Amino acid sequence: MTESRVREVLGDEEAWVVGGAVRDELLGRPVLDLDVACRDPRAAAGRYAQRFGGAAFPLSAAHGAWRVAIEGDREAMTVDFTPLPSAIAADLATRDFTFNALARRLGDTDVADPFGGRADLEAGVVRAVSETVFRDDPLRLLRAVRLESELGFRMDARTEALARESAALVTGPAGERILAELVRLSADAYRRLDQLGLLAPLGGSVGERLDALDDPDFRLVAVFGDRLGRLPISNDLRRYARALLRARKPDDDGARAIHRFRRATEPWALDALAFVDAWSLSGAVEAARAADPDEPLVRGDELGLPPGPAIGRILAAIEEERAAGTITTRAEALALARALTTEERA
């Protein structure tokens, strides 16, 4: 449906479906993003958005590419319109890997394949189109490893040598672009980055924690630790990273130790257990979560204390003693509060 819409917008204008969309069609994978090379990307994107909805915005000011983001369309989440300055062969020569240097005219089935991309798809090979592929855009260093992992392919010897030789360039792209690739990497892909000399320049390293949990955010923290903050991560990911990095393995599975651990790491206590190699305590954490009371025994404004940090410390102590089972009633909580207030003032 999406391609027929593009044809409707472009009419008889020369246009080609290029790159990953053709690759995924040949592999029988779902096509989520359509990349169309045409003479006037800006005008095409504007017409498409106006006719079928979505937001059109420049994807690359330097290259003149435009994207239309489509909401609610399950066939394609985005349609990219890129420049077609001359013949399609010239466009494909600028692509990264041979299986992305494929194109078919909009509405046709015949595939233009000047660099042997279809053969590399069949052989499972990631092969660079040119000797300058990584110098032209160093983000392709990360993309090559990601595609190896996602497709189950392997770089040919020449492309791998180019990647190793270009390792120092890996920090060059904008942080947002780097992060967008890293978040898509599997544990094995991170190990591959390390093997190629691409991970250390980014500030990362691999260790046993990498496989402790199958989660992209967890892998980022496991690989980059406190250096993750150098990347433009979200505030949520920043809080998640802090929780994992400050986590300390509970002394035992007792209620008090589990409470203290949860207080430092929730809502990510289970992830934090994996991070500190204490997954055997996951049952204790889940049981503690299930037993969380609906209401506190006492609130801060019931302590009769002036506003200040002492209130927080006293309430935290009450919560811990309740979790440990040493107090169960409001009267006991108030008695503990009075005792702690006396200590605070002493």
Let me know if residue 142 belongs to a domain.
yes
Which pLDDT does position 344 carry in this prediction? Answer: 67
- Report the candidate in 176, 163, 230 with the shortest Cα–Cα distance to residue 203: 230
Joined tokens for residue 52 = 């079928």
Which pLDDT does position 197 carry in this prediction? Answer: 97
CATH at residue 92: 3.30.460.10
Q: What is the pTM of this model?
A: 0.88
Same domain membership, residue 280 and residue 214: no
Same domain membership, residue 236 and residue 158: yes
Joined tokens for residue 133 = 């592929």
Which pLDDT does position 4 carry in this prediction? Answer: 86
Let me know if residue 332 belongs to a domain.
yes
Distance in angstroms (rounded) separating the CA atoms of residues 333 and 327? 7
Which pLDDT does position 346 carry in this prediction? Answer: 57
Same domain membership, residue 16 and residue 93: yes
Sequence-distant (≥ 6) Cβ neighbours of residue 79 within 8 angstroms? 2, 6, 33, 34, 36, 45, 48, 54, 67, 68, 70
Let me know if residue 295 belongs to a domain.
no
Sequence-distant (≥ 6) Cβ neighbours of residue 160 within 8 angstroms? 196
Same domain membership, residue 102 and residue 17: yes
Let me know if residue 271 belongs to a domain.
yes
Let me know if residue 119 belongs to a domain.
no
Same domain membership, residue 139 and residue 38: no
- Report the candidate in 255, 257, 251, 225 with the shortest Cα–Cα distance to residue 240: 225
Domain edge (last residue) among 211, 246, 281: 246
Residues of the chain with pLDDT under 70: 1, 61-62, 71-76, 344-346
Which pLDDT does position 345 carry in this prediction? Answer: 66
Number of domains, the chain: 4
CATH at residue 195: 1.10.3090.10
Gyration radius from the chain CA atoms: 28
Same domain membership, residue 181 and residue 227: yes
Let me know if residue 147 belongs to a domain.
yes
Domain edge (last residue) among 44, 79, 114: 114
Residue 221 lies in domain: 124-246
Let me know if residue 81 belongs to a domain.
yes
Same domain membership, residue 135 and residue 172: yes
What's the CA angle centered on 152, arms 150 and 153, to 5 degrees?
110
Q: How far is CA 60 from the centre of its chain?
A: 21
Which pLDDT does position 54 carry in this prediction? Answer: 83
Same domain membership, residue 238 and residue 128: yes
Same domain membership, residue 251 and residue 157: no
Domain edge (last residue) among 114, 146, 173: 114
